[in-house]
Amino acid sequence: MAVSRSSEDPMPQPSAPPEPELEPAQVRLVMQQLRMEQNLPLGVLGGTSAALLGAVLWAAATVFSGWQIGWMAVGVGFLVGVSVKALGKGIDKAFGVAGAVLSLMGCLMGNLFAVCGFLSRQHGVPFIEILRSLDLSNIQELMIASFGPMDVVFYAIAVYEGYKLSFRQLTREELSQRISGDPVMI
């Protein structure tokens, strides 16, 4: 004989233990300590290096495959964001802004390097010579000629990733662990 439960007699659900209250003074102290650990110049240096590396990888993959690979922009945004966060240890939105700008710059460089790589192959001129011959008007013409509507989508994703991944977003649990003195990896 099966026992059925009526809707009037629901199974008791286990409840989560109540979260401890965080004292505003303790939160301010932890935030102050975290801000003292921040290093925006180092984060920018790491993000710049990541943008350059991402641009080179994007261009190499594009030139060797023969296809303009727009989704590589997403990888550039990821690389930049992770680098800014790891080296800058930031919690302020300035780190996100730096990551977004550097991600966009990495995407633009990746696209430019790819076009220069195609030109180098097509004309049999060394890649570095193509780069040296560029001036602002050449760069603008190349970027306009090679830019497509889908690039906007991929660049936007890269900028968003660069922003969101560039600074630590602390959870209540992480703050609680820091206040209690428990080691926390963020």
pLDDT tens, position by position, for the chain (186 residues)?
555 555 555 666 666 555 557 788 888 888 888 899 999 999 999 999 999 999 999 999 999 998 877 788 999 999 999 999 999 999 999 999 999 999 999 999 999 999 999 999 999 999 999 999 999 888 998 888 888 888 899 999 999 999 999 998 888 887 778 777 765 554
Residue 87 has a pLDDT of: 97
Query: Which position has the token pair 């662990």?
Result: 177
Please tell me the pTM assigned to this model. 0.79
Q: Residue 122: which residues within 8 A CB-CB, separation 6 or more?
A: none
Residue 185 has a pLDDT of: 53
Query: Which position has the token pair 């286990």?
Result: 14
> How many angstroms separate the Cα of 15 from the Cα of each of 9, 20, 138?
17, 15, 64
